[in-house]
Chain A
Amino acid sequence: MKKLQRIFIYTFLSLAAIVSIFPFLWMLVSITNKSVDVTQGRLLPGTHLIENMKTLFATVDIVPALINSAIIAIITTILTLLLASLAGYGFEIHRSRGKDIVFTILLLSMMIPFAAIMVPLYRMFGSISDTAPFIGIDSLGAVILPTATTAFFIFFFRQNTKMFPKDLVEAGRIDGLSEIGVFFRIYMPTMKTTYAAAAIISFMNSWNNYLWPLVILQSPEKRTIPLLISNLGSSYSPDYGVIMSAIVIATLPTALVFFLMQKHFVAGMMGSVKG
Chain B
Amino acid sequence: MREQSTKKGELDLPVSLRYKETKRQKTGVFFRRKVGWLFVIISIIAISIFNFYPMVQAFLLSFQSGMGANLEYVGFDNWQRLFGDPTFIAALTNTSIYLLIQVPLMIVLALFFSVLLNDPKLKFKGFFRIAIFLPCVTSLVAYSVVFKYLFGIDGIINQFLLNFGFISQTINFLADPFWAKVVIILAITWRWTGYNMIFYLAALQNVDKSIYEAARIDGANSIQQFFQITVPMLKPIILFTSITSTIGTLQIFDEIVNITNGGPGNATISISQYIYNLSFEYTPDFGYASTVSYVIVILVVILSIIQFRVAGEKK
Q: For the complex, what is the distance from the CA of A129 to the CA of B29, rounded to whole Å? A: 44
Question: Does A96 sit within 8 A of B, measured CB to CB?
Answer: yes
Give chain B residues whose Cβ lies under 8 Å from the Cβ of A189: none
Give 1 or 0 for each of B44-59: 1 = CB within 8 Å of chain A CB: 1011001111110110
How many B residues, CB 8 Å from partner? 84
Q: Closest B-chain residue to A43, C-beta based?
A: B156
Q: Measured between C-beta atoms, what is the minimum distance from A260 to chain B in Å?
A: 12
Q: Closest A-chain residue to B35, C-beta based?
A: A179
Give chain A residues whose Cβ lies under 8 Å from the Cβ of B258: 230, 233-234
CB-based contact B51/A109 at 8 Å: yes
Residue of A102, A180, A208, A215 near B141 (CB, 8 A) is A208
Interface residues in B13-55 (C-beta closer than 8 Å to A): 32-33, 35-40, 42-44, 46-47, 50-55
Known: A19-B190, A94-B35. A117 touches B58 (CB 8 A): yes
Interface residues in B176-193 (C-beta closer than 8 Å to A): 190
Q: Measured between C-beta atoms, what is the minimum distance from B291 to chain A in Å?
A: 10
CB-based contact B137/A233 at 8 Å: no
Q: Measured between C-beta atoms, what is the minimum distance from A175 to chain B in Å?
A: 16
CB-based contact A90/B279 at 8 Å: no
Question: Does B296 sit within 8 A of A, measured CB to CB?
Answer: yes
Q: Measured between C-beta atoms, what is the minimum distance from B76 to chain A in Å?
A: 18
CB-based contact A99/B36 at 8 Å: yes
CB-based contact B39/A87 at 8 Å: yes
Q: Closest A-chain residue to B197, C-beta based?
A: A16
Known: A119-B279, A266-B198. A109 touches B52 (CB 8 A): yes
Known: A226-B141, A226-B142. A269 touches B54 (CB 8 A): no
Comparing B1-9, B78-86, B249-257, the segment that makes contact with chain A is B249-257
Question: Does A17 sit within 8 A of B, measured CB to CB?
Answer: yes
CB-based contact A269/B37 at 8 Å: no
Known: A20-B190, A83-B43, A113-B297. A230 touches B199 (CB 8 A): no
CB-based contact B139/A254 at 8 Å: yes
Give chain B residues whose Cβ lies under 8 Å from the Cβ of A229: 139, 141-142, 145
Q: Closest A-chain residue to B121, C-beta based?
A: A6
Give 1 or 0 for each of A15-35: 1 = CB within 8 Å of chain B CB: 011011101101100000000
Q: Which of B51, B58, B135, B296 has the most CB of A within 10 A?
A: B51
Q: Measured between C-beta atoms, what is the minimum distance from B43 to chain A in Å?
A: 4
CB-based contact A232/B146 at 8 Å: no
CB-based contact B50/A230 at 8 Å: no
Q: For the complex, what is the distance from the CA of A270 to the CA of B201, rounded to whole Å? A: 11
Which 9 A/B pairs are nearest by Cβ-Cβ distance? Answer: A94-B36, A90-B39, A233-B145, A120-B57, A208-B139, A117-B54, A120-B54, A17-B131, A149-B46
| Contacts beyond the supplied A19-B190, A95-B36, A116-B296: 19 A-B pairs with Cβ under 8 Å | A20-B134, A20-B194, A23-B143, A41-B160, A87-B44, A90-B40, A118-B276, A119-B290, A119-B293, A120-B55, A145-B50, A179-B38, A183-B39, A208-B141, A226-B140, A233-B145, A240-B149, A254-B137, A269-B195
Interface residue ranges, A against B (CB under 8 Å)? 9, 12-13, 16-17, 19-21, 23-24, 26-27, 39, 41, 43, 83-84, 86-87, 89-91, 93-96, 99, 102, 106, 109, 111-124, 145-146, 148-151, 154, 179-180, 183, 207-208, 210-211, 214-215, 225-226, 229-230, 232-234, 238, 240, 243-244, 247, 250-251, 254-255, 257-258, 266, 269-270, 273
